[in-house]
Structure 1
Amino acid sequence: MIYIGVTGWGDHDTLYADKTQQKDKLKEYAANFPTVEVDTTFYAVQPLRNVEKWVNDTPSGFRFVVKAYQGMTGHQRGDIPFQTSEEMFAAFIESIRPFQESEKLAMVLFQFPPWFDCTKQNVAYLRYCREKMDNLPCALEFRHQSWFKQRFLEKTIDFMEKEKWIHSICDEPQAGMGSVPIIIKATTKDMTLVRFHGRNKHGWNASGQKNWRDVRYLYRYTVQELTAWKEYIEELHKDSKDVYVLFNNNSGGDAADNAKHFVDILGIEYENLAPKQLDLF
């Protein structure tokens, strides 16, 4: 199956009626898309009550792509609120247990920062992460171009296949070493992940500027750009049972519209979505 959705469910105003309450937005979201990326897990290991609510707010066929906690991927600024790495991984795994028990966990996404380059030390850390996550499905996304330089490209793909990392393929600006090229290659037979970050080359490297996050993902894909991806998705679907496609270009509110356009381009009609919320007054 091809699952199409966006990152997060709180900021996509075009999906909701004006009176949709924040607590009900996931229910309304699940009437539009069959999957979502959970970003709050990146900023903090979530209490079980939050995850249980998200599970209960979605239909049985809904799937969550859960972003790994920032301390697990080296993004953490300041002190990590855990005594050891083992404690951190154990807490995270326990926090996502309701996703697993409900069979709504698609995968855990390990997105590494731009300074995580292709070195022996970092390869060893990836093996460590995979060991700690045991048999949970995990996706791997790089932000440093060295992993896909010609001398390492084949080795990187082979490594992901052997370690059972799901490939997170990116559509993003080609803006130096802090960005990666589009590599259309599935590394597991079960799943492949595709994430659309936009193509705002100027904003991509604006991390030193005020409100840089608002600039980084400010981009609206054209119909032509999305149509060009149709063949790629169909190719990936031949090699992976499920392909997850997530739009992260939401600085200007474009992600949900682009995702809906892409559903139409691929000719998908989803069944078993949540019922639409009725706003009578």
Structure 2
Amino acid sequence: MIYIGVTGWGDHNIYPTGTATSDKLQEYGAHFPTVEVDSSFYAVQSASNMEKWVKDTPADFQFVIKAFQGMTGHQRGEIPFSSKEEMFDAFKESLAPSKGSGKLAMVLFQFPPWFDCKRENVAYLRYCREKMTGYPVALEFRNQSWFSARFRSQTLGFMEAEGWIHSICDEPQAGEGSVPTVLQATNKEKTLVRMHGRNIAAWMKPNGKNWREVRYLYRYNQEELLEWKENILKLQKQTKDIYVLFNNNSGGDAAGNAKEFIRLMDIEYDGLAAKQLDLF
């Protein structure tokens, strides 16, 4: 099956006027069968939050939950744990509602641009995989060295051997801090595709406090989406389920592109939530 959705559910232009923030996930489930949870990157979520999200979504809905920043070395804020063991244990505890309900598609480990292909980083990937035994985990790089001519086949072989789901990216090709689109699944059951846009000018040039928002300012045109339709058809020969998440939402384009892609893929989803009715 091909699951198409977007990252987060708070800021998209798909909701009826006046929809409360607390009700948006319920409405989101009327449009898409999957979503990426980004809030888990900034803080390990409480069980009550996860339980509400599970309750607010249809039976077959799927969550891609982003690994906490301390687990991937970003550390943009304070890490409120005394050890890696405590951090991983707290994160896994937070996954219990989604895992127990069958709604956990995978946990996404997205590593930063400075996480390059070297021995100690390979060792850390093994550590992460061991700590996440029993959980489906996806791996996304932001450093080009992993897919250099020297290491590409070894990287893919390592991911397959260690049980990592490949998070394939569409993103600007802006040197060392970006990765090419590598259309190879490393897991026969699941593959993740993340659509970051192609705003090459903003990708690697931080400019002001809102640069992270600017870098995802992009709208895919139909030709680019048709190119990805062919890519998905190729990936279907390698893997059972494909999750396609649009992350180009700085200008509100992700939901529109996701809906257009569903149409181009000729997909009609069963089991979505009922849409809200406007009161007037």
Question: Given the superposition, is the C-alpha separation of residues 174 and 48 from structure 1 closer, same or farther in structure 2, using an over 3 Å criterion?
Answer: same
Deviation at 1:279, TM superposition (A): 1.4
Q: Distance in 1 between matches of 2:216 and 2:171?
A: 9
Give percent identity, aligned residues only. 67
Match of residue 102 from structure 2: 103
Match of residue 71 from structure 1: 70
Q: Distance in 2 between matches of 1:151 and 1:207?
A: 29
Deviation at 1:9, TM superposition (A): 0.2
Match of residue 25 from structure 2: 26
Match of residue 7 from structure 1: 7
Deviation at 1:255, TM superposition (A): 0.2
Deviation at 1:79, TM superposition (A): 3.7
Structure 2: which amino acid aligns with 1:34?
P
Match of residue 161 from structure 1: 160
Match of residue 92 from structure 1: 91
Query: Secondary structure, in 3 states, of the residue corresponding to 1:195?
Result: strand
Structure 1 segments, 4+ long, off by >3 Å, are: none
Query: What's the CA shift string for 1:122-156, capped at 9, x where partnerless?
Result: 00000000000012000000000000000000000
Query: What's the CA shift string for 1:2-48, capped at 9, x where partnerless?
Result: 000000000002x1011111110000000000000000000000010
Query: What's the CA shift string for 1:188-214, capped at 9, x where partnerless?
Result: 001000000000001101225331022
Structure 1: 5+ residue runs without aligned partners?
A: none
Q: Distance in 2 between matches of 1:213 and 1:231?
A: 29
Structure 1: which amino acid aligns with 2:194?
R
- Contact 1:140 1:165 (8 Å CA) reproduced: yes
Match of residue 15 from structure 2: 16
Q: Distance in 1 between matches of 2:5 and 2:160?
A: 25
Q: Distance in 2 between matches of 1:77 and 1:190?
A: 33
- Contact 1:4 1:35 (8 Å CA) reproduced: yes
Match of residue 262 from structure 2: 263
Instruction: After TM superposition, list the pairs within 5 Å mapping 1:1-281 onto structure 2.
Output: 1-13=1-13, 15-281=14-280
Normalised by the size of structure 2, how large is the TM-score? 0.99
Deviation at 1:225, TM superposition (A): 0.3
Query: Secondary structure, in 3 states, of the residue corresponding to 1:207?
Result: coil
Task: Calculate the aligned-residue CA RMSD, in Å.
Answer: 0.8
Structure 2: 5+ residue runs without aligned partners?
A: none
Q: Distance in 2 between matches of 1:60 and 1:38?
A: 17
Query: Secondary structure, in 3 states, of the residue corresponding to 2:116?
Result: coil
